Structure 1
């Protein structure tokens, strides 16, 4: 998995607002089950996850949790 990829360096599909909404949801008082990001091969799921993790780690004051990426095919 590529490290340090972020929405600041590349966001050609303008997905940062989606990532920010996910962070708001996870940081809220709402009980959330594990979250799954689904899509066809090549739609950018892995890259989105990498960018989301970078965003969470850079904003640990608003997102007091540790994200985990699991590659189901490994």
Structure 2
């Protein structure tokens, strides 16, 4: 392996590492968004339970084909 091949391999590895780090950062942002949305959902469910009584709101009481009001995309 010559010097230029070594430099080329090094540059390729650097590029791949930067791509990996960018993807990792994007994943972390998406996880934070997901956690926030889950937290909001639980809070909304707890408010509904408080308003209607703790036995009045459950997953069994709404249709399985209900669509979410907010899409996190």
TM over 0.5: no
Higher radius of gyration, 1 or 2: 2
Structure ranking higher on relative contact order (CA contacts 8 Å, 6+ apart) = 1
Q: TM-score, normalised by structure 1?
A: 0.28
Q: TM-score, normalised by structure 2?
A: 0.29
Kindly indicate which of the two structures has a greater share of residues assigned to helix. 2
